[in-house]
Amino acid sequence: MVDALRVIRDDGSTDPRLDPKLPEKEALRLYRGMCLQRILDSRMLALQRQGRIGFYGPSLGQEAAIVGGAIAMQPDDWIVPQYREPGAALVRGMPLKDLLCQLIGNSEDPVHGRQMPCHYVYRKGNYLSISSPVGTQLPHAVGIAWAMRLRREAHAVLVFFGDGATSTADFHSAMNFAGVFRAPVVFLCNNNQWAISVPVAKQTASGTLAEKAAAYGFDGIRVDGMDALAVYRATREAADRARDSGGPTMVEAVTYRLGPHSSSDDPSRYRDEPEVASWRARDPLVRFRRYLEHAGLWDDAQEARLEQEIGDEITHAVQEAERAGPPSPDTLFTDVYAQMPGSLREQMQGLGVRGR
């Protein structure tokens, strides 16, 4: 891997020069968040296959890059997701039931089923809505960051995107604006090697994705995206610099999508199993658990308890979410305007829908 920051060694020890020295509580929170995302992915794919939710985008193999980046941010910072970051929303405090309601699109979904499945939002945690078009979240993130500068707020924005998004015009526009106006943004590229079925080698002729930042006048750093501490360190330093008027940074997390792009994808049609196996051997959860064990913070009994606890938590959330019915028909009318005009009220009454 070319010039990639790595903190956790193969035996679970860390490079003392690079170790961010996470407190025990924070290290365990990071590991729990990664495990929650891994187990949730498996359960949600099963629900989709059973027809209980419509669509799901898993993040198997990318847990370190997602949760490690999110935990590095401060509570008042904003997180702008790509479309496979449930772990980031959950460590921000999003209740599992709220996430499930949005996946289902039921009456307790805050957007009443208006979004596509698996396109959740958590306003209380400054977690912007997911959006399907590739790269469109990048200008949105820069807009939030620019507003922070105008308001003189010492906060930062973390925006997730994939290697495929670096081929879009939105990537150029966002990077250019952020560089010129020194917007407090951390651009976290999850380079998972595949933009659906297009390999990263066909996305760019540059040696790395991180080096693209130099053309826009700010720093880019490449990290081992299977190493949660490396992602955490790079993101935290970039966010601290952004809050201190140091401008944006691009972090390229070199990782791998071990599973399908989404529940509608069959990756066996475009990639070879030996490639997948070589990356699976670098599983980010296994690596971080080895780190915890080396530090004397984890053992098999704790692992078993955590898996049981997370499994029970997800089961309970699914049961609670599935008790809610579909959105009320009146939301077709009441959610359009802050003050409903008379013409719309007449349509609602004409259809026999009772307003709230």
Catalytic residue positions, numbered: 257, 261, 270
Residue with the two structure tokens 């098999």: 300
Sign of CA dihedral 233, 42, 52, 312: negative
Provide the strand spans (E) within the chain: 78-80, 157-162, 185-191, 194-195, 198-199, 219-224, 249-254
Tell me the backbone φ, ψ of residue 253, rounded to 5 degrees. Answer: -95, 110
Contacts of 308 (CB under 8 A, 6+ apart): none
User: DSSP characters for 32-98?
Assistant: HHHHHHHHHHHHHHHHHHTTSSS-----TT-HHHHHHHHHTS-TTSEEE--SS-HHHHHHTT--HHH
Tell me the backbone φ, ψ of residue 80, rounded to 5 degrees. Answer: -115, 110
